Structure 1
Amino acid sequence: MVNVLKRMRGLQPLFAIRHGEGAAILPPPPLPQLTRLDLHYDRKQWNKSTRPARTLHKEHLPRLKYHNPGLPIRVEQGPGRLHLTFESADQNALSELETTSLETSNEGEFRATWSEVETKSKTASEATASSPSSADSTFTRSVELRLGPHQPRSIWSWFQAATKCDPVPPNPEETAQMEKLDEFFVQAEIDRQRVKAGMDAIRKQKEELQKARDAAARMANEE
């Protein structure tokens, strides 16, 4: 039973990172490609103001990284903000990002600051390897979102709209396994409480028996 319990518990982290908010796949070209994600917030503070960024860091980003292992993600100490960098060979597609990523929350509109579309400068190795026939330009653009009072789910909704990422489709087999796992741990808790109740009853009986023995010993000494 113990080995089964350990194996079942070992599945929990896998299911937790493969499913849930943040489990999404970034779109392929020709849509703009998210090439970098930078998150800054006060990691030393545990309060309401840092909760949105902390939830994004601890819950959403691990799932996003799992399904998009090539995406560079950096989390640093600093004022709360989310910075995304996009690249595309289609300059117009980058220009349209600003109009398609507008989202609102209960606290009002998001205040996202978009940079101008720029031509990406090539590195020395890229410039050397390029030929006249491969002179197509690559463009880049970034956006910075101030992480104010917005709720974590609202921030993730904004991220989905900005990147056009798609939620990972449900896997019927894994969904069934997750349901069985939940049932297993519910039953395990019931069994644990039942065993605890039995142990408590045995301990109480021993205590009462010891009290009876002590009382009998006192009565014998008084005679």
Structure 2
Amino acid sequence: MVAVVRRMRKLRALLAIRLGPGAAILPPEVTRIHMDFAVDIHDGHHGPRKFWRNCLPRLKYHNPAVPMTVNRTINQTGPALMTVDFTSPKAAATIKPEISSTTDKQTSTGPVPESKAGPPTERTEVINMKHRHDSEILEQLLRLTKAKVVRPTAEEQREIQEMEEQNAKSERDANMMAKVNAKRKREEEILEQARGEVEAIQE
């Protein structure tokens, strides 16, 4: 049973990053994505923050070579923008980008290799994220970049079904245990009350 639970936890973590909002493959013409939004969620910055938390990790997982950077400012009334850089199809075909990392010389304790120059930026598009839900931001990004949404394979669908069945079983077991515990507690309370009454009579 422990092995099944452990496997389900690992499977849940893997499927959570592989599938869901943001799981999409960008075309090779997309060379960089950058987000600017405020630290706090007020004044229209809630959607951008949710996108950063929920969608960006999946997008990065499926597009490791595309640099994705985030700048969180203290200017709460400022804009919330996503900047997407594109190169030409010809340049994208001739230059193979290296796998990108968020590590830089300011955050890493180890040596950081110099990055090679990526394809030249041909055009830049900007998405206004302020006062918009994360789903709206994602929809516009997918439409703008013509990214291909990652769908679950037959094996992954089977695993998802397995996981849902296991979750349902766990929930049933938890409800059953809660009922058993509640019944035991009631019985203990009744027994305790009876003892109290017996002691009162004896006195």
Aligned pair count? Answer: 173
Shift of 1:157: 1.8
Same amino acid, percent of matched pairs: 29
Which structure dedicates a bigger proportion of its chain to strand? Answer: 1
Choose the corresponding residue for 2:57, options 35, 39, 62. 62
TM-score normalised according to structure 2 size = 0.77
Select between 192-201 and 163-172 the one with higher mean Cα deviation.
163-172
The residue aligned with 2:35 is: 39
2:44 aligned with 1:49, yes or no? yes
Shift of 1:172: 0.7
Select between 176-185 and 46-55 the one with higher mean Cα deviation.
46-55
Partners of 2:12 and 2:123 lie apart in 1 by: 38
> What one-letter code is carried by the residue in structure 2 that aligns with 1:34?
V
The residue aligned with 1:25 is: 25
Partners of 1:89 and 1:8 lie apart in 2 by: 42
The residue aligned with 2:4 is: 4
Give structure 2 stretches of 5+ with no counterpart. Answer: 74-78, 92-115
TM-score normalised according to structure 1 size = 0.70
2:140 aligned with 1:158, yes or no? yes
**Larger-Rg structure:** 1
CA shift in 2, pair 1:41/1:208, >3 Å: same
Shift of 1:77: 1.0
Superposed CA offset, 1:95-123 (max 9, x none)? xxxxxxxxxxxxxxxxxxxxxxxxxxxxx
> What one-letter code is carried by the residue in structure 1 that aligns with 2:136?
S
CA shift in 2, pair 1:206/1:57, >3 Å: same
Choose the corresponding residue for 2:188, options 206, 211, 220. 206
Q: Secondary structure at the match of 1:77?
A: strand
The residue aligned with 2:128 is: 146
The residue aligned with 1:94 is: none
CA shift in 2, pair 1:139/1:51, >3 Å: closer
Give structure 1 stretches of 5+ with no counterpart. Answer: 92-124, 127-136
Partners of 2:8 and 2:18 lie apart in 1 by: 16
Deviation beyond 6 Å, 4+ runs, structure 1:
none
Contact 1:89 1:138 in 2 (8 A): no
| RMSD of aligned Cα (Å) | 2.2
Partners of 2:189 and 2:80 lie apart in 1 by: 58
Q: Secondary structure at the match of 2:85?
A: strand
Superposed CA offset, 1:118-163 (max 9, x none)? xxxxxxx98xxxxxxxxxx955221222222333222212111221
CA shift in 2, pair 1:212/1:89, >3 Å: closer
